Structure 1
Amino acid sequence: MKKLLPFIFLFFTIILFAQTKNVTSSEIRWKGYKTLKAEALSHNGTLKLKSGNLLVKGSEIAGGNFVMDMTSMDSEDLNGNPKLKKMFENHLKSDDFFDAAKYPVSTYQIKSVRKLNGGVFNYQINGVLTIKGISKNVNFPAKVSQINDEIKLTSARFTFNRKSFGLNYNIFEDMLISNDVEMNISIVAK
């Protein structure tokens, strides 16, 4: 019991001095490429956030959790061709890639935040991204600002390796797709 006392004290200290702010608006953008990273060979779009919060101590982010709705995947670059757009989005949501029927959500859990000196992006966000039940560390720089009781977090463009999360296609087609998926995240919590 004596060994547990410091952990219990720390837990209650965090609860007493930390506050949870719920995400009130968000924008999650993604971009994928063929193996040649050319704009003409890319697709981009958005995902909706199902829920999210930031844990704040004083004026600093101490943690957070985001739940992304994988069934909301939108491919904006194909807006001019509704038939192709629907076909491509269904393909991304199928078990070929994200398997949204089996894994309707993906999550990001902020594990730590480190203040950076200078530059537009003033914090390093370190956390765990979970896609299709597979969890990997994914870190990114972010600009964090606070106005009154509202906190805005905007990430720099960052990438994750799709194959690390089991996002594979058939062997021939898979060789034509870049492993890197780019993302940008912007959230406001209050």
Structure 2
Amino acid sequence: MKKNFVIILFISAFTFAVTSCKDKAKEATTTAAEAVEEVVNAEAYTVNKDASTIAWKGFKPTGTHTGTIAIENGVLDVSNGNIVGGTFLIDMNSIVVTDIPAEDEKNAKLTGHLKSPDFFDAEKYPSAGFTITGLEEVEGKMMLSGNLSLKDAKNNVTFPVSVTNENGVVTLTSETFTIDRSKWNVQYGSKSFFDNLGDKFINDDIELKVSVSAAKS
């Protein structure tokens, strides 16, 4: 009986792990940061921070956590109705956890830990940044590329997006994608940096969905 219980427990854990992996979105193509070309003859669209956000999801063996991060400010450069450049800042002190009730002390504990030097060190690095380096159609999908600056590292990431331009408002919405936090030196609980973590590790993948709305300045 005990042996059967152990087998069932193992199968359940294995099934959870496989399901979690399948549920994850595709990782964004990540390369070295690219040079940013100067944009000329483009209109500046100011990002509406109240209508823009980043949703995130983190993974660990025992489950997931979800939340949001606010976009602090930014500008999209638009020419002939198309996005040709732009940049926006991400407020790392605005991290919110949504899977734990706000009044639960575990919410504040996790939020504080994410802002601490263990993770994003929001006191030292209060803002992250994203600067667009390209937007092109690839096999029927619009692919956005940009330099993501997070903590003390910068890499170029490419992921699929949709873009609308209606009544003087440009909206850029990404598909859900993941980034590997270890490439930005976010080390806590990462198997990329530490051995012998057992089941105490936290996956390197962070799932993101970006939505940016901007209007003519």
TM over 0.5: yes
Q: Deviations over 1:17-71 (max 9, x none)?
A: 201101112021010101x4xxx60001000111011111111100111100000
Secondary structure of residue in 2 paired with 1:178: coil
- Is 1:22 the counterpart of 2:46 in the alignment? yes
Q: Could you tell me which amino acid in structure 1 is paired with residue 100 of structure 2? A: L
Give 5+ residue unaligned stretches, structure 1.
Answer: 1-9
Q: 2:131·2:148 contact (CA, 8 Å) conserved in 1?
A: yes
Q: Deviations over 1:90-109 (max 9, x none)?
A: 00100001000100010111
- Percentage of matched positions with identical amino acids: 34
Q: Could you tell me which amino acid in structure 1 is paired with residue 65 of structure 2? A: H
Detail structure 1 runs of 4+ shifted over 4 Å in the superposition: none
Pairwise CA distance, 1:115: 2.6
Distance 2:80 2:199 in 1: 47
Q: Deviations over 1:78-125 (max 9, x none)?
A: 12652000000100100001000100010111001103454xxx4110
Q: Could you tell me which amino acid in structure 1 is paired with residue 208 of structure 2? A: M
Which of the numbers 125, 128, 143 marks the counterpart of 1:124? 143
Q: 1:168·1:174 contact (CA, 8 Å) conserved in 2?
A: no
Q: What CA RMSD, in Å, does the superposition of the two structures yield over aligned residues?
A: 1.9
Pairwise CA distance, 1:138: 1.1
In terms of fraction of residues, the more strand-rich structure is 1
Q: 2:102·2:108 contact (CA, 8 Å) conserved in 1?
A: no
Q: Could you tell me which amino acid in structure 1 is paired with residue 59 of structure 2? A: Y
**What's the TM-score, normalizing by structure 2?**
0.74
Secondary structure of residue in 1 paired with 2:99: helix
Name 2:130's counterpart in structure 1: 108
Give 5+ residue unaligned stretches, structure 2.
Answer: 1-36
Name 2:63's counterpart in structure 1: 41
Identify which range, 71-80 or 91-100, moves more after superposition. 71-80
